[in-house]
Amino acid sequence: MGFVDYVQAIIDGLLFGTTYSLIGIGFTLVFGVMHKINMSYAAASLAGAYCGLAGPQLLSLPLWSVFPISIVAAGVIGYLIYLACFRFIPLASPLAPLMSTVGMLLLVDEIVVHATAGMPQSYPAIYDGDPIELGAFILRADLIGVFLISLVAMVVLLLLLYRTRLGMATRAVAQQPVAAQLCGMRLQAVNGLTFVMSGLLGGVAGAMIGASVGMLSPLISGTITVKGLIVTVIGGLGSIPGAIVAGLLVGAAENLFQAMRNVTERDIYVMLLLFVFLVLRPNGLFAAGRSRD
């Protein structure tokens, strides 16, 4: 394969990698606030995307309604996960919240399988036009659409976090939950809203993944979970810029591995990438100020 092919692979990977970034941000957002990982996050995001399909299929809405419904549905699911796994379980208990999110992951996966009878569902693309040619490289128009939408979602999130009172409350609670409460912030409300925010983001990611691949299948939930977690870890737990960079990195690397070898071996190399990172930089690229313990 020629040099051009490899660069092409990297470009495609970078464009798709933004969806990984979104999933990574979602994981890291929840981690930043709850100091726990929500293992069911990727599955929930994809479930939201599935819900979007209900628009055209069950409610006879136009095809483009899939996207907003996916996003909103994922936000709702996010809140439900908060209630089931974090609202009532004592956070001091080390394993219980983690285990409950794992249970949730299984539950969400199974609900999806039952609802769709295990059959893959086709998902509309963002844009059906011709690819754009840029010299020797081809840019798929729909991937560019995915890229742009994901970027917009990230920007909206960052604006929300850093320019609004809600965002400030979220960051305050993440850093000092007790002090934040003393300042009058309602912990449960802020935490719940954080889950809604990450859920909405996940809905975008799920929809974009469906749009790029052209279909959704219950089988991909496990892979996306693992890759999303890899992104979070490489980027540094709790760091949003880290998740963004790592998502692009993993997307590009994955596509490159696929071009160099083949699809089946690709994922092994992605895992190895994780190991190399863990050995060299266990705190990730941008470790978000963990106290020395």
Partner 1 sequence: MVDFYYSLAQIIGFHALIGLSAYVVLQTGQVSLAQAGFFAIGAYVAAMLTVLAGWHLVPAMLAAGIAAAVMACIVGFPALRVRGLMLVIATLAFGEAVRLFFFNFDYQIAKGGVKVGPLGGEGFRQIRWFPEHGWTSFDVMLFVWAVVALVAGALWWLDRSRFGAVIRAVGEDELAAQSVGLNLTAVKVAAMTIGGFIAGLGGAIYAHYTTHIEHSNFNVLLATFAIAYPILGGLRNVFGTIVAVIFVQGFLVEGLRFLGDWRNLLFGALIVLAMNLRPNGLIDAATAQRLARLFGREARRA
Determine, following the binding rule CB under 8 A, whether residue 188 of this chain makes contact with partner 1. Answer: no
Total residues at interface with partner 1 (CB under 8 A): 47
110 binds partner 1 (CB under 8 A): yes
The amino acid present at 220, given as its one-letter code, is I
25 belongs to the binding site for partner 1 (CB under 8 A): no
CB closer to partner 1, 63 vs 95: 95
State the Cα–Cα distance between residues 92 and 96, nearest whole angstrom: 9
Choose the stretch contacting partner 1; rule: CB under 8 A; options: 5-13, 86-94, 136-144, 160-168: 86-94
Residue type, 155: V
Interaction of residue 232 with partner 1, rule CB under 8 A: yes
Q: Does 79 bind partner 1 (CB under 8 A)?
A: no
| H-assigned helices in the chain | 3-34, 41-58, 66-82, 96-116, 141-163, 165-175, 177-182, 187-213, 220-235, 240-260, 263-280
202, 78 Cβ separation under 8 angstroms: yes
- 150 close to 20: Cβ distance less than 8 angstroms: no
- Is there binding between residue 282 and partner 1 (CB under 8 A)? yes
106 near partner 1, judged by CB under 8 A? yes
Stretch that binds partner 1, among 46-54, 140-148, 155-163, 276-284 (CB under 8 A): 276-284
Given 42, 69, 201, 237, the residue binding partner 1 (CB under 8 A): 237
Question: Residues 6 or more apart from 14 whose CB is under 8 A from it?
Answer: 147, 248, 251, 252
Longest dimension (CA), the chain: 61
Instruction: Rule CB under 8 A: say whether 42 interacts with partner 1.
Output: no
- Residue 137, SS3? strand
Nearest of 216, 202, 211 to residue 157 by alpha carbon: 202
Q: How far is the CB of 186 from partner 1 (least distance, A)?
A: 21
**5 touches partner 1 (CB under 8 A):** no
What are the residues binding partner 1 (CB under 8 A)? 31, 36-37, 84-85, 88-90, 93-100, 102-111, 114, 222, 225-226, 229-230, 232-233, 237, 264-265, 267-268, 271-272, 274-275, 278-279, 282, 293
